[in-house]
Amino acid sequence: MPPKILELVNLVTRFHTDDGTVHAVNGVSYDLHEGETIGIVGESGCGKSVHALSIMRLIPTPPGEIAGGEILYQGTDLLKISEDEMRKIRGGEIAIIFQDPMTSLNPVMTIGKQITEALNLHMDMHGEQARERAAEMLDLVGIPQASDRLNSYPHEFSGGMRQRAMIAMALSCAPSILIADEPTTALDVTIQAQILDLVGRLRERLGMAIIWITHDLGIMAGLAERLMVMYAGFIVERASKHRVFADPRHPYTLGLLNSLPRVDKRESGSRLIPIVGRPPDLTMLPKGCPFYVRCPFSIEKCVAENPPLLEIAPGHEIACWVDVHEAATHEVLG
Amino acid sequence: MMSDNGNQAMVEITNLKKYFPVTQGLLRRVVGNVRAVDDVTLQIIKGETLGLVGESGCGKSTLGRTILNLHKPTSGTVLFEGTDLSGLSGHDLRSMRARMQIIFQDPYSSLNPRMTVNAIVGEPFIIHKIARGTELDQRVAQLLERVGLNPLLGTRYPHEFSGGQRQRIGIARALALNPSFIVADEPISALDVSIQAQVVNLLEDLQDEFDLTYLFITHDLSMVRYICDRVAVMYLGKIVELGSIEDIYDNPQHPYTQALLSAVPVPDPIVEDQRQRIILEGDLPSPADPPTGCNFNTRCPIAFDRCFEEEPQLKDLLPRHDIACFAAEERLQV
Ligand SMILES: Nc1ncnc2c1ncn2[C@@H]1O[C@H](COP(=O)(O)OP(=O)(O)OP(=O)(O)O)[C@@H](O)[C@H]1O
Ligand SMILES: Nc1ncnc2c1ncn2[C@@H]1O[C@H](COP(=O)(O)OP(=O)(O)OP(=O)(O)O)[C@@H](O)[C@H]1O
Ligand SMILES: [Mg+2]
Ligand SMILES: [Mg+2]
């Protein structure tokens, strides 16, 4: 396996609000290897974006606070370096793209100027050389007449083109990690397919590692190598994508897969199986398992104690006290 | 579900157009038209769920609202059980309107934040002078119960509920006057996957119980396959393909439908590895300035001479399966 490039150790991020402390990320640990693509899936509010913003040190403080843990980038703890040093990492070594491209693009600056500024800062590239590189990047992401388009403003682009421009900007400094926070969620499926296809090809060509955040398990089935499922600020299941889809072991993952319709088949008369209830209030996390109230398999222990993430098979971890296979057999036997 | 005796039309839409003027300058001079709905002819059969799919801006919501006479058509007619709404006024219009309802995408903005849930759900009874006093309270409680909300929560305000619960409030309100036809405009798009299945199952149960006919507007093609009986595919204001779920999903004929279906990710890595994706080039053209000939010719992978000169009409090239495409005509006729 290629060497680790990023290591999260027990990351804890909270927000102190008028309604109480929001426990957004509650001890997340994982490794990312060079050139690897991992997927993070979970419902709205489970802490996906907060975890990503924590890596970039972009959490608004206050109300936010990275309350604990380490974020080791090539062995250096990003939480311990100065803001100046962090600025070089941000955009240079680790780049992030968002659902709304306008959060990264400046509306009153041409696309070309925005990309060349990043190149000045991170790559020490200037003048004609930077412009050439910027045009090359726009061309790479499939924007026609790239060198003319450098003079365009973001509002002159369509939604799909803005998303491409943001990707061009993010990748212009050849980062070793790209964090993609639902960059295709607001796009139509045909445009999403273009972007996913593009990212797949760029990954092969540029070799960066990717952390892809989404609530769409379908996207992960294609793009990711390893998958992590998040719930209420915890990672509850982690394995290769093939294992997660073929043999999901956390009741939440199982529930998500059961509640999804599929475009490629429909068994007649079948009904979707929803997960009852809704995610917990992150200001009042229960003492036990956060999924307990919605879980069809829960036992007494789940109320008392939150299960840690433990390996149940090589490379397959879950945070659950129950063996769903065994529980399902019991149910069948009565 | 389609009725056994075939085609009992609940809604008959003939050559329906809805254009919005594009204005310019201080005098708001009209310089063009957005052809949001451009010559749609379509029947909605009693008891069925007709899916309406297509990319953002293709005119789905406008078609839904024009059918309900919430937009005045630019031309063309809509007959609701044989009656043209545009010829009605006063009491007749109101009682007809009561039989057709709409459920919106955004449960947050479609409910009045200053009204309690009881007042929101009870309002239609008061407007139509159907119930008041204790009878009103009872009817409201029944409705809340029916959509799976505790009637005791009726004294609360919308912001105190989750997205899925708010959608249930919207559904309860839509059901108040015993409608027979409901336009559901992206009713689940704002909800988390695990909650979507709850709402979809509720809509299906209510359909059986109250004999409802649905026009289900969405961009989620997986859900359409799951919940609908027939589906209409819309592109730039026009229906380009119409047929049963089986025909459209297993045997799509229009190149746009084919691309759209192939672009939807499937939550199954084994399927994803083997799928051939048709990646469309470019974006949706502006509906204010559609291409001449076939609307789709700017993105179509198989367009030929005729497609740039003439406009294809929606024709039943296969049994109960209509397609608007010259290439399909050549392929399927002769
Ligand atoms: N600036 C903030 N102040 C207070 N609470 C916040 C702030 N940012 C995020 N949160 C809270 O942190 C929790 C996690 O939010 P986060 O944005 O990470 O969710 P997410 O998994 O990215 O969801 P989505 O799929 O909707 O993007 C939520 O409860 C959210 O309300
Ligand atoms: N009231 C209006 N005035 C002017 N133009 C409008 C109006 N309503 C819609 N349009 C335009 O008509 C076209 C169709 O819009 P519509 O909202 O029907 O699309 P849609 O298919 O529902 O899209 P979405 O999936 O984003 O909801 C768009 O170009 C839109 O900008
Ligand atoms: Mg997010
Ligand atoms: Mg719409």
Q: pLDDT tens digits for A291-311?
A: 999 999 999 999 999 999 999
- The encoded tokens of residue B302 equal 């198989």
Question: Of ligand 2's atoms, which has the minimum distance to the CA of residue B217?
Answer: 22
Using a CB-CB cut-off of 8 Å, the residues of chain A touching B274 are none
CB contact under 8 A, B268 and A262: yes
pLDDT at residue A30 is higher than 80: yes
Nearest-Cα residue of chain A relative to residue B197: A274
* Angle at CA of residue B192, ends B248 and A56, nearest 5°: 115
Question: Of ligand 2's atoms, which has the minimum distance to the CA of residue B60?
Answer: 21
Chain A nearest CA to B9, separation (Å): 25
CB contact under 8 A, B219 and A189: yes
pLDDT at residue A69 is higher than 60: yes
Q: What is the distance between the alpha carbons of residues A32 and A39, in angstroms, rounded to a whole number?
A: 11
State which of A12, A13, A15 you would mutate to test the pocket of ligand 1, scoring each by most atoms of that ligand within 8 A of its C-beta. Answer: A15
**Cα–ligand 3 centroid distance for A40 (angstroms):** 11
Higher pLDDT, A286 or A331: A286
What mean pLDDT is predicted for residues B223-252? Answer: 96
pLDDT at residue B229 is higher than 50: yes
Mean pLDDT of chain B: 90
pLDDT at position B2: 42
Contact A66, A12 (CB under 8 A): yes
pLDDT at position B259: 95
What mean pLDDT is predicted for residues B193-214? Answer: 91
**Cα–ligand 3 centroid distance for B95 (angstroms):** 44
Residue B256: pLDDT band by 50, 70, 90 thresholds?
very high
Contact A30, A8 (CB under 8 A): yes
Nearest-Cα residue of chain B relative to residue A217: B267
What mean pLDDT is predicted for residues A6-34? Answer: 96
pLDDT at position B107: 65
**Cα–ligand 3 centroid distance for A44 (angstroms):** 7
State which of A21, A22, A41, A55 you would mutate to test the pocket of ligand 1, scoring each by most atoms of that ligand within 8 A of its C-beta. Answer: A22
Residue B7: pLDDT band by 50, 70, 90 thresholds?
low
What mean pLDDT is predicted for residues A174-197? Answer: 90
CB contact under 8 A, B200 and A272: yes
Q: What is the distance between the alpha carbons of residues B183 and B24, in angstroms, rounded to a whole number?
A: 33
CB contact under 8 A, B55 and A190: yes
Which region among A11-25, B2-16, B195-209, B247-261 has the lowest average model confidence (pLDDT)? B2-16
Higher pLDDT, B31 or B301: B301
Q: What is the distance between the alpha carbons of residues B142 and B148, in angstroms, rounded to a whole number?
A: 10
What mean pLDDT is predicted for residues B256-282? Answer: 92
Which region among A152-166, A250-264, B174-188 has the lowest average model confidence (pLDDT)? A152-166
CB contact under 8 A, B266 and A260: no
Nearest-Cα residue of chain B relative to residue A268: B226
Strands B75-80 and B83-84: antiparallel
pLDDT at position B5: 46
pLDDT at position B129: 84
Cα dist from A299 to A173, A288, B8, B15, whole Å? 51, 11, 52, 60
pLDDT at position A224: 94
Question: Of ligand 1's atoms, which has the minimum distance to the CA of residue A230?
Answer: 21
**Cα–ligand 3 centroid distance for B218 (angstroms):** 22
Backbone angles phi, psi at B310, to 5 degrees: -120, 160
Contact B187, B116 (CB under 8 A): no
- The encoded tokens of residue A266 equal 């429909």
CB contact under 8 A, A217 and B55: no
Collect all residues with Cβ–Cβ distance below 8 Å to B198 and sequence separation of at least 6.
A274, A276, B148, B164
pLDDT at position B260: 95
Q: What is the distance between the alpha carbons of residues A84 and B222, in angstroms, rounded to a whole number?
A: 47
CB contact under 8 A, A188 and B222: no
Chain A nearest CA to B253, separation (Å): 16
Q: Which residues of A touch B (CB under 8 A)?
A: 43-44, 158-161, 188-194, 196-197, 215-222, 241-242, 245, 255-257, 259-264, 266, 271-276, 278-279
CB contact under 8 A, B222 and A260: yes
Using a CB-CB cut-off of 8 Å, the residues of chain B touching A216 are 265
Looking at chain A, the whole-number percentage of residues with pLDDT higher than 70 is: 98
Q: Is A175 close to ligand 1, i.e. is its CB under 6 Å away?
A: no
pLDDT at position A141: 86
Looking at chain B, the whole-number percentage of residues with pLDDT higher than 70 is: 97
Q: What is the distance between the alpha carbons of residues A139 and A111, in angstroms, rounded to a whole number?
A: 13
Q: Would you say the C-alpha torsion B208, B209, B213, B215 has a positive or negative sign? A: negative
Which residue is closest in CA terms to ligand 2's atom 22? B61
Which region among A69-78, A95-104, B104-113, B286-295 has the lowest average model confidence (pLDDT)? B104-113
What mean pLDDT is predicted for residues A101-109? Answer: 88
Q: Pick left, alpha or beta for residue B81 (phi over 0 → left; psi -120 to 50 → alpha; otherwise beta).
A: left
Name the most confidently modeled range: B123-137, B196-210, B297-311: B297-311
Contact A119, A125 (CB under 8 A): yes
Residue B1: pLDDT band by 50, 70, 90 thresholds?
very low
Looking at chain B, the whole-number percentage of residues with pLDDT higher than 90 is: 66
Other beta carbons within 10 angstroms of residue B112's beta carbon come to 12
Which region among A192-206, A208-222, B68-82 has the lowest average model confidence (pLDDT)? A192-206
Looking at chain A, the whole-number percentage of residues with pLDDT higher than 90 is: 68
Q: Which residue has the tokens 């972007």?
A: A195
What mean pLDDT is predicted for residues A36-42? Answer: 96
- The encoded tokens of residue B310 equal 């003439």
Using a CB-CB cut-off of 8 Å, the residues of chain A touching B279 are 190, 193-194, 197
State which of B19, B30, B60 you would mutate to test the pocket of ligand 2, scoring each by most atoms of that ligand within 8 A of its C-beta. Answer: B60
- The encoded tokens of residue A270 equal 């079948």
Q: What is the distance between the alpha carbons of residues A123 and A95, in angstroms, rounded to a whole number?
A: 14
Contact B184, B103 (CB under 8 A): yes
Higher pLDDT, B253 or B164: B253
Going by C-alpha positions, the residue among B72, B160, B81 that lies closest to residue B117 is B160
Q: Is A183 close to ligand 1, i.e. is its CB under 6 Å away?
A: no
Residue B128: pLDDT band by 50, 70, 90 thresholds?
confident
pLDDT at residue A333 is higher than 70: no
**Cα–ligand 4 centroid distance for A46 (angstroms):** 27
Q: What is the distance between the alpha carbons of residues B54 and B42, in angstroms, rounded to a whole number?
A: 16
Higher pLDDT, B199 or A67: A67
Question: Of ligand 1's atoms, which has the minimum distance to the CA of residue A182?
Answer: 27
Q: Which of A158, A245, A272 sits opposite B226 (nearest CB)?
A: A272
Contact B9, B46 (CB under 8 A): yes
Higher pLDDT, B23 or A183: A183
**Cα–ligand 3 centroid distance for A181 (angstroms):** 7
State which of B23, B30, B40, B61 you would mutate to test the pocket of ligand 2, scoring each by most atoms of that ligand within 8 A of its C-beta. Answer: B61
Pocket (CB within 6 angstroms of ligand 2): B 20, 34, 36, 54, 56-62, 219, 287
pLDDT at residue A334 is higher than 70: no
Mean pLDDT of chain A: 92
Residue A278: pLDDT band by 50, 70, 90 thresholds?
confident
| Residue A169 C-alpha from the chain's centroid | 19
